[in-house]
Chains A and B, each alone.
Chain A
Amino acid sequence: MQFFGGSEISPSPPATAAASSASGNNAHMIYIFNRNGVCLFYREWNRPLKTLNPQQDSKLMFGLLFSLKSLTAKMDPTSVEKGNLGVPLLPGQGCSFHSFRTNTYKLSFMESPSGIKIILVTHPKTGELGDSLKYIYNLYVEFVMKNPLYTPATLIKCELFNKSVDQYVRGLG
C-alpha cells in the first residue's frame, strides 16, 4: 500500500470534519512513539485529569496500543491465518485499528511503516482524523527528521515542530 506520496508537506492542511468545542485548542493531547516504545513527543493542551506521572503515563499508553494492535490482528474476521496473541507485530502486518472512542474522548492512531506511532486524543464527536495524522507525520519528517541537530530515538526538542503542531491542532474543526 502506498503510504505517503511526495516529500513536501501538502500546501494546505486537509479540512477535517471535526465538530468539537469552541475553545482554542480542539485536541486534548498528542503522543509520538518510536518503534521501541520511546516517547519522542508529548504535548497536552487540555487535560484536567492526570492520574499518573509522565513516564508511567506514556508507558501505559504504549502498552495499551501494543495490546490493542495484537487484539485486532487476532480478532480480524477476514483473515484466515492469524498469528498468536502477544507476538510483536511489524508495522503493517495484520489488521490494525485506527481509532477508538469512549464517552469522554476519542483516540486516533496511526503507525508509519518505520514504526513511528502518532496518537491524537480529541473530543469524542471528532470525525475521521486519518488525514490529519498523516499531515502531522509530514510535519515530523520536515521539521524533525530533516533537522541535522536531531538525534533519532531521542526526545523531540524542535521549536518549529512544536509551533507547527500547535498551529495545526488549533485549526482542527
Chain B
Amino acid sequence: MAAIYSLYIINKSGGLIFCKDYGSAGRMDTNDSLRLASLWHSMHAISQQLSPVPGCSGIDLLQADTFDLHCFQSLTGTKFFVVCEPGSSYMEGLLKHIYELYTDYVLKNPFYEMEMPIRCELFDIHLAQAVHKDRVASYGR
C-alpha cells in the first residue's frame, strides 16, 4: 500500500529541480509542475506562521481524499515531497533514503550547479532502484 504516484524536489527558493511521475492518471505539463512546486513551497512557509506553538518546521504530511503527500525538509531548505496512496507507511524512511541518494549522486557531482534542475544519471538509476524496491516490499507486506 505504498504506491508512489510522483516525487518532487524543490530547492531552497521554491523552484522545482526534480520531478518524476510514477503513474498518475492524466498528464501534467511542466509549467503546471513548476507552479505546483512553488505553491507548495509557499504553503509550507505559511503553515509555519500559523503555528500556535513556537518551533514549527512546516507541513510533514497532508492527507487528502485520494492521496497523501509526505514532505521532508532538509536543514538547508531543500524539500522532498512525494504523492502516494492514502495510508502509506514508511514514506518518511523512503524520503530520507532519497535525501541520501541526493547528497551522494547530485551534490557530490562536480558538474552539478547548485539549485539548478537535476540531470544526473546515477541519481536517476539509484532512485528508480529505491522506488522499485519499496514497491516490491510493499506488495510483499
Contacts and interface: CB of A to CB of B under 8 A. Distances in A.
B50 A57 contact: yes
A28 B53 contact: yes
B21 to A, nearest CB: 9
Interface residues of A, number: 42
Interface stretch (B65-73, B100-108, B120-128, B133-141): B65-73
User: In terms of DSSP, what is the predominant structure of the interface of chain A?
Assistant: mixed
A66 to B, nearest CB: 10
Contacts of A64: 43, 46-47, 50
A38 interface: no
Contact of A97 (B46, B57, B63): B63
A91 to B, nearest CB: 13
Interface residues of B, number: 38
B52 A46 contact: yes
A101 B57 CA distance: 11
Count chain B CB atoms within 10 A of each CB in A77, A100, A103, A105 and give the residue with the most. A77
A101 B39 contact: no
Interface of A: 28-29, 44, 46-49, 51-52, 57, 60-61, 63-64, 67-68, 70-72, 74-82, 85, 95-105, 107, 121
Interface of B: 5-6, 23-26, 28, 32, 35-36, 39-40, 42-43, 46-67, 69, 83
